Each structure stands twice: as C-alpha cells, then as structure tokens.
Structure 1
C-alpha cells in the first residue's frame, strides 16, 4: 500500500487488524471482515508495536509500544469505540522528556531517497560539534524500527546524536528494497550509509572527527566496508561479530547459507562484486579511523577469524585497532548481565575517548 508494507493480519474484537510498517514506523489499521476501512488505532507517536493482542470475539485488546525515547508501554484499547488508555509502563530512572526524534530524508549516491531517524536532545545546537553515533544493518530484509535502548539515553544525556538510516537491503519498504541491497547490489547499502554520514555533516549535526559508526554481524560488514571506502568521514568505528573477508566467508561458520544474500567467490561474477567491497582486502595504502572490534571466541555463526585477521591487517597498516574477544560466548555475545555491562563500558569508553565526549 504505497510505501507501507504489510507485517501481519489478525481478527480481534470482530474486526480485521492489519499491522503496517509505514516509513519504518508501525501503524495498526482496523477493517470490517468484508475489508472496508474502519479506523486506525491511535499510537503514541513514531515507534514500533507487534500489533493487537485480544480475542476474536471480545472488544478489549492490548498492544505494546516502544520508541527510541520510550521504554516499553502496554496500552488497552476498545475495538468498538477506539478509546485507548495506558495499562502498564516500565519506570526508567532517567528523564527522556527533553529528547526528540526527527525523521529526515536524503538522496543516496544514485538519487534514491533514504529515510533516517535522528534522535537528540531538543536543545541540540547545529554547529557541527555534536558527538554522533550512526548505526545500520542493511541486509537480509531486516527492518530497523524505533526501539528503546538505555544506550540511547546514555548517549543523549552526554549531548550526543543517535542516527539510524533505513538502508537498502532491509525490509522497511518491502522485498524490492531488500533486493536493491543484496548480492550484486550490495554497494547500494554502503552508498546509502555514506550518504547518511554526509547528510549529518552537511546539516551541522556533527563533523567527521565527532562521527562514530557502529554495526554488528551484517552491520559489521557495513561499517567495515564504509570505513575502508571513505575513512576520512569517520572518527571512530565499533565493529561487532562481523563478516570482513568476503572472498572466504562462505567456507566458515554459517557462511554457506548466506550465498543467496552475498553471492559466492566460487562464481566469477560474484567474485568481482565481493572483492570490490571486501573490507579485509582494502586495508593497505591509506589511514583508517580508530576501530574497536568486538568478537566472540565460540561464535559458530560468523567465525571470529574475520575480526582477528582484519584487526591484524589494520595494525600492520599502522592504524589504531583494538580487539575485544568475549570468552565462551557466541554470536549474541555474553549470556549474563555482567558481561553485557562490561562490554558496554568498553564500547562507550572507546567512543567517549575517540570522539572527545565530555563526561
């Protein structure tokens, strides 16, 4: 439906519920069982929900809502009247009232319009001096929608800007959007991300030396690629459990299952595409921004060899590159709160140091 993609359908309270993703934000539409539009369920703003939870023959239903600045809240709504009230919320020991979310649009290298969420304090000054963290994924049809994180609160409390572009390769705008960022189209994803960085700089949110980037797994490939293609744009890189040697990735871990997304170096045409952006193969000959690499020694999805050899290549090139390996951990990181806290401390200490964040 236009730029909206259908996420799910259910019957709740005698009505047909359609869960839409519109410009990477959730919408809930109610229709009659014959398909006629009734109304939309009023959501608190730009954010994400999994849809209504309720019985097919009962008027009362519930939905959970979250956003970049709103921890999870549960609302109760009437299907018949549309009356909605807050039913439960998570209390947060922080004030997020002074935070705001913008959704902007910028052209990528080929002119394709890309949407991006930009989160900051409402008193932000556009003088190019704000520490900014740009994150992304751009692959496998995964949609990045507004989701709350205490890391965002921490970053904004220290005057930072948090930015999330909806890159091609994701699912925010349907399967065609995914196809436009996979296999031989993969460079589009990197161009979209570079375009986001340039937009933030050109519009006064930050400057290159204050701009950090972060990505994990396929997002680790993303930040690895853009930091080798346009190293002058970034002041710091957080690269987590990444794919970086795209010529040999399919020989390790779960790599063989991803050839439909990336292609395989065993195919001549795919080899040319993969080699053109493979981060590990484009390190020598230029300086790169400081990098903190996060890996897990028991990662059976993305082999930690990617992280190890890329850091070795950067260090051999004379760049600042640190390798943090989580012991007895898999692709999702440590399995306890203490490990997550320790890694978070290391990540933000690195960013605060390299981007010169007052604290």
Structure 2
C-alpha cells in the first residue's frame, strides 16, 4: 500500500454483536470512552498528524488574515422592548462574544448590561439565552461553559447591574417565563442527580422566587410516567395563563397544556396527542391562537376556545397556503406570518379575524430572523440578511407602512461584483429540489472553479440565505458556494421533512448527490474541484455521501457528525433522535439504517476523497466517539493516498456559544485543507 501518510495504528477490539440475524463488528468501541488513556493517546496522535499537515500549507496564514478582516464588522441583533427599556446584543467586530446593551426608551444612550467576555479569558464561557421581565427590571441569563449544552441561570438587576446571589443549575435549553409582576419566573430543569444513562430525562417545571435559593424552588409540574417529556413554559400576552409546549426532544410534534397563573391547580391538557406542531401565539380572553400543521402540512392559524376545546369547534383564521409558515406571532392586535417561499422569506400581516392586512416589502431575497414584536404594539424590529448582505436591523412601523434601517453595517466585503442565483434541479426520484449558488458575476462556467456544496437535510430545519464572512472569503478567492435545500428540512412544510426522515433518509443523500451531479454537468465545477460540507446531521450527510459516491467529490468536510447509527441513541440526548432516524432495535429500522450508516459502509480497499472530520472535546450533543470511530475506520480501510484527517478542538462543543477566535481558526483550518486538496493556488 503506497500511502503518503503514516496513520496511527490503534488496536482493534474483538467485539461482535448479532443484530436481527446480522453479525456486526465494532472493533473501535473503546473509542467511546473519551477519558481513557488509550483514547487520549489516539486523539493526540491524530491531532499531531493534522496540525503537521495544516502547518505545511502556506496559504493558511493568508486565509486567516482575510477571514479576520471580513469578520471585523458590527453585528447586531434586533432590539426588543420591556417596560420602557430597549435591549439589544452587539458585537463590535472581533469580540469573542456579543455584549447585551440596554437603553432608556428609543432615544436613550445605550449602556452595557452584560458582557460575556468578562466571564472567561478566552471567550469560551458564553451567554446562550436570556429573558427580561415585563417591566424591564430583571434579566435572567443562561451561561454555558466550553460549548456544553448544560447551562446555569443567573439573575441580574437591570438598574444596578448587579447579580443576585442565587444560581440555578441543572438546565439544558431552558425556557424562562416571568410572572407579570416580575416577582419570579417559571423554568424547566433536570434533576440534580441522576444516573449517566438517564441524562436529560425527567425534565420538570419549577417556579423560582427572586432572592431565594434554588433549593426553595417549587416544583410545578412533571411527568414521572413519561420521563422523556420536557416542559418549556411561556406566559400569555395578557398574563392570565401559563402555557406549556410539551415536547419530546427533537421531534416537531408536541402537546399543549395550560393553567391560569393565578391558580395552583392541575394543568389542563388542551392537546395531549402529539400528532402535529402546535405553537401558542397568544390569546384574547379564553380564545387561544395557534400556529399548527395539523391537517395542513404547510401550516395554518387556528382559534381555539378553551371552554369548547373539541377540535370540531376550532376555527381556521388563516388557511394553509402554497408557502409553508416558518414562524408566526402576534403584533398590532393581529398576526404576522413569516412564510417560506422556495427557501426564502416573505412577511405578511393579518388582522385578528384572519383577514389579510398587508405584505411587507422586504429588502431583498433573503432571511428574516429575530423578529421582536409585542401583541399590542404597532411596530416591530427584525434582522434581514442574504448571502451578500450582512445581518441588518430594521424597524417597521405598521401604521405608516415604513421600514427604517437602525444601524449601518460596514464590512470589508463589496458585494457589487457577485450574484446569487436560485436553481431548481431534479433528484434521483424526480423530485424538484432548490439550491442557491453564490459566485462572481463574471465567472466563466468552464468547470474549473473550486466549489463548496453545503447541506443539512433533517429535523425540519430549513436552510435559507445567510451572510457569512467564510462564504465572502470563498467567493472573493474565485470559489463558488452552493446551499442545497434538501428533503428533511421544512422549506416546503412537514411533508418535505417527512420525505427525508426514517425510511426516507436516503432521499436526503440522493438530493445532495444530484446537486453535485448537476453542478458538474452544467460546468460550474468538476469532481476534482468539488467539496461537500455539513455539520451535525449535515455531517452524517457528507459522510454518507462520501461512502456512497467516493468518486464524485474532490474533498469532504464532516463536522460534528452522527456516524454510528446503531449506537447513536445510547449517548446523551441521542435517544431523542429516534423519531428522526429510527430505532436500531426495530428490525425494519435496522435494515434502512444499516444501508446508509457511514461507519458500517466504509469499504475495505476503497479510495476515499480527501476528508477532514472535525469535532470537539465538550460536544455533549453529538459526542466525539462518532468522529473518532469514523476516522479510525477510514484510515484502516482506505487504500488511496488522500489525506483522511481529524481536527479535534478543545474547550469547545457542538457549536453553541463558540467564540469568534475559535470560529476563525476553524474556518481557516477547513479552508487551508480545501486549498491544498482542491489545488487552489
């Protein structure tokens, strides 16, 4: 075997199991123990190999310098109002973490309220969520360390800037719902102690009274009979109800319970059949307004009288349309709906009876995010971006029909010479799939251009146009950036999602492969110049595609991936992904999962394209064992001369709260790898 690389040669265990009559070997199961000395040695050897490879790429320093320049622009999130105060996040440019500011009224002078950069020297402690009381006097904020999904809740007085002494632990993705009088809040948390294999089970709803210890918090609701449920709370716009969107992890179907905030009785199970998505938008007295895809896979808005909750009594206010509802809420005593029109956003306003009021002209074809509205206000703010426009904050006055940009966002990227085109192509089964292509306007389509094809395809997560300094750097250098809107997402509603989950998962890979073939056939690029990239479920995507079609790609980036489809459900929150991927204990599920499971489809003697797998030590969502077992298996079985490498970050997790410095370092490494393997000068 004539290899250019000498890979580590880890020992192989002799574990073999029988699954539904099939013998399945798992020689690298020992890599599932991250703290074991032999695992640490394996990681150290892989890191040394990768760092040595990247250090020999002269372009890396230039890439990092340009990325830093492109990253150095002010980044805002849309302001929101509580009481008379306005709150907004801002990053001056290269700060590791954005800072939360507050100002007194629209004309007040902003002042720093919370600077997460002060929580750690290297920016690896992050604030990953916050909630401000209705009077604007109290801030509850969630702190995560090293990218972990685990958080703690701290509480700060907005006037004084001082924290209360109590810290609320044992939270993960917690929601916070303040009482109208700001005396305390409801939040969901996990038990203080539980066995490791029960991690993230037995969620419960608690009430915290300000200026008391967590030990005094009152448990309000739990379901020991169904420990997989979680109970994120919210308070209705009139303060009369506490509403629970009861969910089972990552699935897009939920229950809906409620109770009056003034009562201590049991919760009413308004919807206890998780057969669809049910989102509480607000209420008018005892009438609840819901965004749901029940009976309407692209979504609609319903009115439910809680005194007559039978579905036969529900009233449809806004019917399903050709465009799926991406998000909805209440404003101006009516509704706003953000629709997904071929993977880009439309914004429409409706009166409370469901009558169309107005479609708002957005600044272009792109993505609307962080829309901040209150049900009675005649104005709202939001962020808008595209591949060529950085996130820009706007305020919309409904009465005046006036859109105002709040802040200038100067960047080092000049979009004038670039374009984004949307292309519709045919997948293997004839389904039409959209993709966005961003490139220089004058680029000759001669098949020579290095191209990144990015995808995700799962969990009802839609990919829409978004600005990134990384994309800007890539197209500046003459590359093409492509975003494919694969099945499994929600670009066309729940049917699009279901077309890429469970036994339909192969459709996602077929969609991605078809996108690659279209780009090559139409002379945008060639196999030798085409890289694919995805993270998390998108890492599963790129890993599955590379083992199915190793001839099609010039390089592969596999980020924080799900790889071992027979054991993914045994780690941290993996048990909650069964509704998306399947249960390997089910013979029918085992059959379709084994056909694409990347770990189990690496072929001995095959030649795989240059591959960089990346993960991190504190990723407690998709644990590193997936990446470790995959890279060990690839290096063992590959017979070619292409680099198959592992990037292993430290003090970092799945991606949430990652500091700017680490983001730039990661992209610089990924691009340096692509420059070398795709032959970019």
What TM-score results when the alignment is normalised by the length of structure 1?
A: 0.94
Secondary structure of the 1:88 match is coil
Is contact 2:455-2:484 (8 Å) kept? yes
Name which of structure 1's ranges 192-201 and 2-11 shifts more when overlaid on structure 2: 2-11
Give 5+ residue unaligned stretches, structure 1.
none
Partner of residue 80, structure 1: 399
Equivalent of residue 616 in structure 2, options 279, 296, 307: 296
1:2-41 matches, cutoff 5 A: 2-41=321-360
Secondary structure class of the residue paired with 1:199? helix
- Residue 181, structure 1, aligned to residue 500, structure 2: yes
Rg: which structure is higher?
A: 2
Q: What are the Cα deviations for residues 223-252 of structure 1, in whole angstroms up to 9, with x where unaligned? A: 000001011110001101111121222222
In the TM superposition, residue 353 of structure 1 has moved relative to its aligned partner by 1.1
**Quick one: distance in 2 between partners of 1:142 and 1:293?**
22
Q: Is the 8 A contact 2:606 2:639 kept in 1?
A: no
Q: Return the offset for 1:342.
A: 1.9
Q: Which residue of 2 aligns with 1:146?
A: 465
Contact (CA 8 Å) 2:458, 2:537: kept in 1 or not?
yes
Q: Of 640, 657, 665, which residue of structure 2 is paired with 1:342?
A: 665
Whose helix proportion is higher, 1 or 2?
Answer: 1
**Alpha-carbon distance change, 309 to 60 in structure 1, aligned in 2, over 3 angstroms:** closer
* Pair 1:306-2:626 in alignment: yes
CA distance in 2 between partners of 1:210 and 1:227 (Å): 15
Which of residues 510, 513, 517 is equivalent to 1:191? Answer: 510
| C-alpha contact (below 8 Å) 1:139/1:170 kept by paired residues | yes
Q: How does 1:1-359 map to 2 (within 5 A)?
A: 1-50=320-369, 52-284=371-603, 285-316=605-636, 317-319=638-640, 320-332=643-655, 335-358=658-681
Question: Structure 1, residues 88-107: CA drift from partner, whole Å, max 9, x if none?
Answer: 23211221122211111011
1:28 touches 1:51 (CA, 8 Å); kept in 2? Answer: no
Moved more, 178-187 or 95-104: 95-104
- In 2: Cα distance, 1:232 partner to 1:121 partner: 27
Q: Calculate the aligned-residue CA RMSD, in Å.
A: 1.8
Counterpart-to-counterpart distance in 2, 1:218 and 1:55: 34
Q: After TM superposition, give the deviation of residue 287 of structure 1 in Å.
A: 1.0
- In 1, the alpha carbon distance for the partners of 2:626 and 2:449 equals 32
SS for the counterpart of 1:219 is: helix
Q: Where in structure 2 are there 5+ consecutive unaligned residues?
A: 1-319
Q: Check whether the contact 1:296–1:333 (CA below 8 A) recurs between aligned residues.
A: no
User: Which string of whole-angstrom CA distances, capped at 9 and with x for unpartnered residues, describes residues 283-323 of structure 1?
Assistant: 12421110011011222211211111211121122342011
- Change beyond 3 A, Cα 1:325–1:78: same
Segment of structure 1 superposing worse, 74-83 or 349-358: 74-83
Structure 1: distance between partners of 2:370 and 2:380:
10
Change (3 A) 1:300 1:11: closer
Query: How many residues were matched structurally?
Result: 358
CA distance in 2, matches of 1:76, 1:343: 34
Secondary structure of the residue that 2:572 maps to in structure 1? coil
The SS at the match of 2:367 is coil
Distance 1:335 1:10 in 2: 29
Q: Is the 8 A contact 1:15 1:79 kept in 2?
A: no
Kept in 2: contact 1:334–1:340 (CA 8 A): no
Question: Displacement of 1:332 after TM fit?
Answer: 1.7
Partner of 2:78: none
State the shift of 1:52 in Å: 4.8
Closer/same/farther in 2, CA of residues 3 and 225 from structure 1, 3 Å limit: farther
Q: Return the offset for 1:87.
A: 2.4
User: Do the aligned partners of residues 335 and 80 (structure 1) sit closer, same or farther apart at CA in structure 2, a change above 3 Å counting?
Assistant: closer
| Larger fraction in strand | 2
